[in-house]
Structure 1
Amino acid sequence: MTPTWIFLPPEACHDLSAELPVMRVTADGSRAMSLAEALADVPAHWQLVLPVEAVTACAVQLPTQKARWMRQALPFAVEELLAEEVELMHLALGEQLADGRHRVYAVRASWLRECLALCAAQPPQAIRVDADLLPRQGSQLLWLRSRWLLGGEAPWRLALQPEHWPVLAGRCPAPHIASAPAGQQLPEAVDEAHLLEDAQQWLVRQHAGVDLAQGEFARRQSGDGWLRWRPLAAVLALCLILQWGFNLAQGWYLQREADAYAASSEALYRELFPQDSKLINLRAQFDQHLAQSTGRDSPLLGLLAEVAAALNAEGAPQVQVNQLDYSATRADMSLQLQAPGFAELEGLRERLEAAGLSVQMGSASREAEGVSARVVIGG
Structure 2
Amino acid sequence: MSYRLYVRPIAPFPAPGAEPVEQLYNWALLDASGDSQAHGGGDTRDAIEQTLAQNDLEGVRLIGLIPGEDALFCVADIPAKQSRFIQQALPFAVEEQIAQDIESVHLAIGSHSAAGYRVAAIDHQQMGQWLRLFSDWESARLEAIYPDAALLPVTDGGWSICLDGDNVMLASDQGEWLSVQSRNLAMFAQTLAAPPSEDVVAEVPVTLFGTDAEFEHLQSDISVLKASPRLAVAEKTLELIPLELLAHAHHHHLCHPINLCQGTYSLKRESSGLFGVWKPLIAVASLWFVIQVAVEVGFGYYHTQQAEQARAQAMEIYRNAFPGDTRTHAGNVRRVVQGQLNQLQESGTDAGFIALMKYTGSEYSNLSGAGSVVFNSVNYSQSRGELVVDVRADSYDKLSALRTGLSGKGLEAQIGSVVNEPDGARGRLTVSGG
The TM-score with structure 2 as length reference comes to 0.49
Deviation of the 1:20 alpha carbon = 2.2
Cα distance per residue 1:241-283 (max 9 Å; x no partner): xxxxxxxxxxxxxxxxxxxxxxxxxxxxxxxxxxxxxxxxxxx
**Cross-structure match for 1:200:** 243
Does the CA-based 8 Å contact 2:14-2:23 persist in structure 1?
Answer: no
Residues 1:141 and 2:161 are matched in the alignment: yes
Amino acid at match of 2:123: R
Relative to structure 1, the CA distance from residue 220 to residue 235 in structure 2 (aligned partners, 3 Å threshold; closer, same or farther) is closer
Amino acid at match of 1:195: T
**Cross-structure match for 2:260:** 212
Question: What is the aligned-residue RMSD (CA, Å)?
Answer: 3.2
**Cross-structure match for 1:22:** 25
Equivalent of residue 76 in structure 1, options 92, 104, 112: 92
Equivalent of residue 207 in structure 2, options 172, 177, 197: 177
Relative to structure 1, the CA distance from residue 56 to residue 10 in structure 2 (aligned partners, 3 Å threshold; closer, same or farther) is farther
3-state secondary structure, aligned to 2:13: helix
Q: How far apart, in 2, do the equivalents of 1:124 and 1:202 lie?
A: 20
Taking the TM superposition and a 5 Å limit, the aligned residue runs for 1:1-379 are 1-9=2-10, 11-12=12-13, 17-26=20-29, 27-37=36-46, 40-41=49-50, 44=59, 45-97=61-113, 99-122=114-137, 123-137=141-155, 138-160=158-180, 161=182, 162-170=185-193, 174-185=204-215, 187=222, 188-189=225-226, 190-198=232-240, 199-207=242-250, 208=255, 209-223=257-271, 232-234=286-288
Q: How far apart, in 2, do the equivalents of 1:32 and 1:130 lie?
A: 16
**Cross-structure match for 1:337:** none
Q: How far apart, in 1, do the equivalents of 2:173 and 2:99 lie?
A: 24
**Cross-structure match for 2:367:** none
Q: How far apart, in 1, do the equivalents of 2:154 and 2:192 lie?
A: 16
Q: How far apart, in 1, do the equivalents of 2:136 and 2:145 lie?
A: 16
Deviation of the 1:100 alpha carbon = 3.6
Q: Which has the larger radius of gyration?
A: 1
Q: How far apart, in 2, do the equivalents of 1:13 and 1:109 lie?
A: 16
Relative to structure 1, the CA distance from residue 197 to residue 29 in structure 2 (aligned partners, 3 Å threshold; closer, same or farther) is farther
Amino acid at match of 1:20: Q
Percent identity of equivalent pairs: 19
Deviation of the 1:164 alpha carbon = 3.1
Q: How far apart, in 1, do the equivalents of 2:237 and 2:176 lie?
A: 24
**Cross-structure match for 2:344:** none
Where structure 1 has 5 or more consecutive residues not aligned to the other structure, the ranges are: 239-379
Deviation of the 1:152 alpha carbon = 2.5
Relative to structure 1, the CA distance from residue 33 to residue 167 in structure 2 (aligned partners, 3 Å threshold; closer, same or farther) is same
Cα distance per residue 1:110-136 (max 9 Å; x no partner): 222122223442351111111100123
Does the CA-based 8 Å contact 2:25-2:45 persist in structure 1?
Answer: no
Does the CA-based 8 Å contact 1:9-1:145 persist in structure 2?
Answer: no
Where structure 2 has 5 or more consecutive residues not aligned to the other structure, the ranges are: 30-35, 53-57, 196-202, 227-231, 293-434
Bigger shift: 190-199 or 29-38? Answer: 29-38
Cα distance per residue 1:177-234 (max 9 Å; x no partner): 1111122226223521100112211211112322211111111111599999997544
Amino acid at match of 1:106: A
Q: How far apart, in 1, do the equivalents of 2:208 and 2:282 lie?
A: 47
Cα distance per residue 1:20-63 (max 9 Å; x no partner): 22212122343123543356446531111111021111222113
Amino acid at match of 2:168: W
Q: Which has the higher contact order (CA 8 A, sep 6+)?
A: 2
Amino acid at match of 1:130: D
